[in-house]
């Protein structure tokens, strides 16, 4: 048994092709909007603003005869997007995270958030467990008798994994991969739900806003709550104009605007 800590790695974020944006804006007359745009690590916010302005052709006053004035400040513009619940433009902004050393308890909770996400999870049908990595919350680590018994259970399960691998001869020469897969699929049934695993989780900003709120709520499961508190911090640093409305209260991320 190996003690681990859940971790989050932000591995992909939106990237704009400003030359293509310029080509489009040249067609509709919005070049001046692009000229005043801050391109410094703000592609997510820039894409959200672009998508919103395209809907009303509001890059400049007069491009749409119905638009006589516009919000020029991006933060003000995106705040209006959030407050008016114009959340569809946020679906264009996808971020990908590696969730590392998270339990299958957490992944079973996470799959309930289906709209706007993509998931690729480590398959224990193919990945054989030579050890059982496991996370213990602080309160559990402080309980000596609990840790003694829990460690004993995990050690026994880990030893059984090793015994099965030897019993099935999985490391012998010439064992077909299909046979290894078949046996490994059976062996994973004896791994606890708390065994640490990993996945790539991609979500758009509309989904992220909802999931951060739901999974940091006081009543949320403690591991997923801790993880999405970290994701909230990452996203506030990545796109402050899109996540700066949250107030953190006892660890719960409460948005200024819901149902975006």
Which residue out of 183, 206, 209, 215 is catalytically annotated?
A: 215
Catalytic site residue 149?
Answer: no
Distance CA 220, CA 135 (A): 17
**Strand boundaries in the chain, DSSP class E:** 2-3, 7-12, 94-103, 117-121, 133-134, 196-204, 247-249, 252-254
Q: Residue 178 corresponds to which tokens in the numbers above? A: 């299909």
Can you tell me the distance from the alpha carbon of 53 to that of 37, in angstroms, rounded to the nearest whole number? 13
Q: How far apart are CA 249 and CA 30, in angstroms?
A: 41
Sign of the torsion formed by the C-alpha atoms of 31, 35, 36 and 39: positive
The span from the CA of 32 to the CA of 45, in Å, is: 17
Q: Mapping DSSP to helix (H, G, I), strand (E, B) and coil, where does residue 54 land?
A: helix
Q: Which residues pair with 102 in a beta bridge?
A: 197
Q: How far is CA 78 from the centre of its chain?
A: 21
Q: What angle do CA 152, 150, 111 make, to 5 degrees?
A: 125
Catalogue the active-site residues: 215
């Amino acid at each position: 048994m190996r003690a681990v800590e859940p971790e989050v790695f932000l591995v992909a974020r939106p990237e704009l092709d400003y030359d293509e944006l310029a080509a489009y804006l040249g067609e509709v007359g919005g070049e001046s909007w692009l000229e005043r745009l801050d391109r410094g690590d703000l592609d997510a916010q820039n894409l959200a603003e672009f998508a919103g302005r395209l809907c009303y052709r509001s890059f400049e006053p007069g491009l749409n005869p119905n638009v006589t004035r516009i919000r020029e400040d991006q933060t003000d513009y995106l705040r209006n997007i959030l407050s008016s619940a114009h959340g569809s433009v946020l679906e264009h902004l996808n971020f990908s995270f590696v969730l590392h050393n998270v339990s299958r308890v957490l992944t079973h909770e996470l799959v309930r958030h289906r709209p706007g996400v993509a998931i690729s999870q480590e398959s224990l049908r193919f990945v054989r467990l030579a050890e059982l990595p496991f996370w213990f919350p602080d309160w559990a680590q402080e309980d000596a008798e609990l840790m003694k018994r829990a460690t004993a259970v995990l050690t026994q399960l880990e030893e059984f994994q090793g015994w099965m691998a030897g019993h099935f001869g999985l490391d012998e020469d010439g064992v077909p991969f299909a046979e290894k897969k078949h046996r490994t699929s059976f062996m994973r049934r004896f791994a606890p739900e708390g065994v640490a695993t990993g996945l790539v989780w991609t979500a758009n900003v509309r989904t992220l806003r909802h999931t951060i709120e739901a999974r940091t709520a006081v009543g949320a499961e403690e591991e997923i709550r801790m993880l999405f508190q970290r994701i909230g911090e990452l996203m506030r640093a990545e796109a402050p104009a899109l996540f700066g409305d949250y107030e953190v209260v006892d660890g719960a991320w409460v948005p200024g605007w819901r149902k975006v």
